[in-house]
Structure formats: C-alpha cells, structure tokens
Amino acid sequence: MDELQQKHTENMQTVDEARSKALRGEIDELSRETGNAAKAAKEKLDAMSKNTAKLKSVPDSVHANSAIIRIEENQYTHLVLKLAMAMAEYQ
C-alpha cells in the first residue's frame, strides 16, 4: 500500500495545478466566446430569413422580387452551411 501511495505522490508531482487551472480558464473563456459568436450569427441569420419572408408575403412582391428572393435564399443557405461547418470544427 505504501508503494502505491509513493507512486501516486510521484505522479502527482508531474501535474502543474496552476497551469491546469489557467488552461481550464482559457478554454472556458474560448467556449463562452464561441457560444456568443454562434448566437450572434444565428440572430443575424434569423433576421435575414425574416427579411426574405417579408418579400414572400405578398404574391406581387414575390413576382417583382423573385431574383432578390432567390439570391437571399442562396446566401442564407450558404451562411448556414458555413456556420454548421465552423461549429463542427469546434466540436
């Protein structure tokens, strides 16, 4: 039993608690920043989607703005894909 405790003590000496705490803090901060950036991006994407929905709300508007609607939908899809890829890389 004493031998096991001695090995444990030796192994614990290799752990730098201050460095571990600092790294944990940095990772937590990075995680918060990433979460905030993802929320901001989602809010902007939601606003973009609402603007497109406004153009689609009236049939005359759909006919008059079909090219703009198509461009906005393509941009929205592209940005959602980019955000999803960024989040997948983060994980």
**Residue pLDDT, tens place only, 28-37:** 999 899 889 9
Distance separating alpha carbons of residues 66 and 84, to the nearest angstrom:
27
Tokens of 74: 């393509």
Give me the numbers of helices (H) and strands (E) for the chain, helices first please: 4, 0
With a CB cutoff of 8 Å and minimum separation 6, the contacts of 80 are: 45
With a CB cutoff of 8 Å and minimum separation 6, the contacts of 69 are: 52, 55, 56, 62
pLDDT, position 14:
79
Q: Record the pTM.
A: 0.67
| Residue spans per domain, the chain | 19-90
